[in-house]
Structure 1
């Protein structure tokens, strides 16, 4: 054994001593107060306690709680933790609306009604648009573009392939000019339809998208504020549970006209079982989709309240198709969009 080995052992022992000291009651209380003061500066009302966080040799992070969950076939899981919940709710608030628009092609509309299901695509579909990575770039989390998963694939690409989503627009806040843009982008310019869904989510990952505006300095973002303070005061990096999916709700400010709320389902998570078949999307390679039933699923209850045909759609075709809608209360057919 050489001097380098002994020096590494001494260094590790020193780190353990530092970590034990940081996790002492006085220091962990100070750390929770530091984070709560930052929350207060962002007008966040909720608070953490010293029981919600802990130090490791490298990080300040959520203190894990292991619980037994009978609903998941008695699997031991990690419950979503308060620090993560507060930060997620700040960036991506749960919507207060209950009805949402979904603009789609007429062919997709037929599939939704006949099969009573929505297709959720993985984020690999948006890889070229720079989605997902924008959050990690803005928050200085660069490992996702260099580290690899257990299959040897770059983490960024691996996580995008595992994360599935579908999009809705908040019906109560959308402006007329923005709606016209959504018709052109997703409703085939009047050849598609606008579905109005009533949605009651069963899991937390039905959230409003965060639009990062160009004028907001990165240093003013909540996670960056906490990271800077933790590094300065305690010489530790800051991380939180759920960081691998947090980028799925974070978009460039240019897209804010879409008023988007997303339902996100991740293949690898402790929050629920992923009981879906992944389907190939043509010959698109990494792009896959899963099928989520409108009724009797574990993630959200969907009810179609109304259907607005595009300008070039024959209303009689929609009435005929709705004969296959399973609920006794049929969706209302609205007047055609005037775009």
Structure 2
């Protein structure tokens, strides 16, 4: 609970997409489909990566981390919205809002770092294949993954605490479908310049910096691909890189436009739809683009189904 000069804020009310009654049901159905597909795809990838020893490689170690992260990320953002739509209650307690804000920020920040480390992993695998096992050994991979999680969780803690300790003006209506930090910041009635500065610094570290690392990694990767003599091999490599970069542009592009836009620009309505992209669409696409369409994963699915017939009840067979 937060005490202000005006009142005591014990709960918040979400406006969600109530301004668009004709779109609201469409958003609910699409969000539900994205959430269910995200759960199914990512659970399949994590299960296959654990059960099949051929996938015990750095690439699939990071992909498993990304899949678990995406499940948590999407759940923190979409589950409360879906539950509120079904029950007809658009409210959340102050402690619930604080928890939702923290997990949403923590998972999103960690994903920013994980995606950049995955790009570096692909750079080493393609450009330095002989040294790859030595550079990306198990100990290094564990340290990189742990560092990504710690970075995301700590930066989210700093942002959440810095915003929720500020005095609110008695207005408990959040113009969003989740306790998104920028939407909650609109309710603060004191000077927020210092908090906005901290958020800007963290956003620059977690958005443009990873994007720069990804661009450098893929520049070297594409340069290496151009040396491939086989036209078929080159086209497959280009196709894979293009798919990866598409998801990266969707995730970082929408996040950048939300968190690094000028403070004078008020685009709360657009931000809600942007949030659906980076918190709902990209977690759904990640396992499909990065792994589930790979021949390596399809073969792993077949091996697991042969060894464990009961898995066929939960994992769709790959033809």
Q: TM-score range by the shorter chain?
A: under 0.3
- Which structure shows the higher helix fraction? 2
- Which structure shows the higher strand fraction? 1
Using the size of structure 1 for normalisation, the TM-score is: 0.24
Where relative contact order (Cα < 8 A, 6+ residues apart) is larger, the structure is 2
Using the size of structure 2 for normalisation, the TM-score is: 0.25
Larger radius of gyration: 1
